Amino acid sequence: MPRSSPARPVTIHDVAAAAHVSKSTVSLVLNDSPLIPQDTAQRVRQAAAKLGYVYNRRASQLRGGSSNTIAVVINDLMNPFFAEILVGLERKLVDAGYTVLMAHTNEDVRRQDRVLQTMREQGAAGLLLCPAYGTPSSLPQQVRRWGIPMVVMVRTLGPGSYDFAGADNERGVFEATLHLLDAGHRRIGFLGGQTGIVLEQRLKGYKAALAARKVKPNPALMIASKPNREGGYDTMQALLKTKATAAICYNDVVAFGALAALGERGLRAGADFALVGFDNVLDAAHSNPPLSTVDVHPGQLGEHAAGFLLGRITDPSLARQVYIAEPTLRIRQSA
């Protein structure tokens, strides 16, 4: 018994013939062009649905040299701060008709380089980057040569003409430290953080507040660590040996680890020791006790970064766009 030939796939030519229009008209309709009259567009879509035609948008983008994919490269997805940024920017980008492709570098510059090359090969329409520690300041110029619009988030890469969305780290820590000083604390620690411009900015705010109240900085109270829970736990254990009565943490995740160390010692933040975090992630209001923190509105930061990228895609000649989130000190039970 002879075998039947496989069914021929339905093509754009078949849709054009069934709708009695040209191939270019079908293409315009399937790309949601406003140039085609509504009744013609409806006829084309009905013909495509009847024939079972499936539009390969990716193939069309490759033919046209464009893409509807935005690459988002995050340095530390284990930190909920970055996840909240991602939620904000994804909401903005999806509403604009883009698909978000996310990658995590885990603070590895070599991995970041591989990810960026892959995004370039995939023809990403734009790039949003939270740079890993050690990212060279030349990266924005390199990506510009690729012809890909980019917005840098959270960590500045130094002077340049690239678009940037971040927060006023120095001001936020200055206000938090001043709050503790005005509450009577004089031995205030700074916990967490290892390197980078963000740490430098936050330490600058910490030292400026001490200077404003004529308190000499004590290196023994500034303890570096990875900016995670384990780092917060370890640095708090070390700080408790110095007779400190309060601490500013590099971020909220470090503060959560510090809370655990206090609890293990039978101490309660707010009653026995004053503790302040940074970022105001969602869990901060629901920790035990609720964590005082510097709110830099991560969701809004993500939305601004996405808006900058959309603007840059639409008009590459725009002047440099910069958003610096104004910090808000959220006083809760821990301080």
266/291 same-domain check:
yes
The two structure tokens encoding residue 279: 């970022």
**273 and 181, same structural domain?**
yes
Q: Is 335 inside any structural domain?
A: no
In the structure encoding, which two tokens stand for residue 60, read together?
A: 């069309």
Query: What is the percent of the chain with per-residue pLDDT over 90, rounded to a whole number?
Result: 73
Q: Both 123 and 184 in a single domain?
A: no
Q: List Cα–Cα distances, 179 to 61, 105, 172, 248, 326, in angstroms.
A: 54, 35, 11, 11, 17
113-127, 150-164, 176-190, 235-249: least confidently modelled range = 113-127
| Residue 6 falls inside a structural domain | no
Q: What secondary structure does DSSP assign to 100-138, as a single string?
A: EEEEE-TT-HHHHHHHHHHHHHTT-SEEEE-PPTT--TT
Cross-strand partners of 261: none
H-helix or E-strand spanning residue 237: helix 229-239
Structure tokens at 70: 């935005």
190 and 162 belong to one structural domain:
no
Together in a domain, 41 and 75: no
> What secondary structure does DSSP assign to 13-72, as a single string?
HHHHHHHTS-HHHHHHHHTT-TTS-HHHHHHHHHHHHHHT----HHHHHHHHT--SEEEE
- Confirm whether 81 is domain-assigned: yes
Q: Show the domain range for 174.
A: 169-295
Nearest to 235 by CA among 245, 217, 246, 222: 222
163 lies in the same domain as 175: no
Do 173 and 148 share a structural domain?
no
Q: How many domains does the chain have?
A: 3
Would 256 be classed as within a structural domain?
Answer: yes
Whether residues 162 and 174 fall in one domain: no
The yes-or-no verdict on residue 5 having pLDDT over 50 is no
Convert the pLDDT of each residue in 26-83 to its tens digit: 877 876 666 788 889 899 999 988 888 866 555 555 454 557 889 999 998 889 999 9
Domain membership of residue 3 (yes or no) is no
Could you give the CA distance from residue 311 to residue 66 in angstroms, rounded to a whole number? 16
Are 158 and 302 members of one domain?
yes
The count of C-alpha atoms lying within 13 angstroms of the C-alpha of 255, restricted to the half-sphere facing its C-beta, is 34
CATH of the domain at 75: 3.40.50.2300
**Model-wide pTM > 0.75:** yes
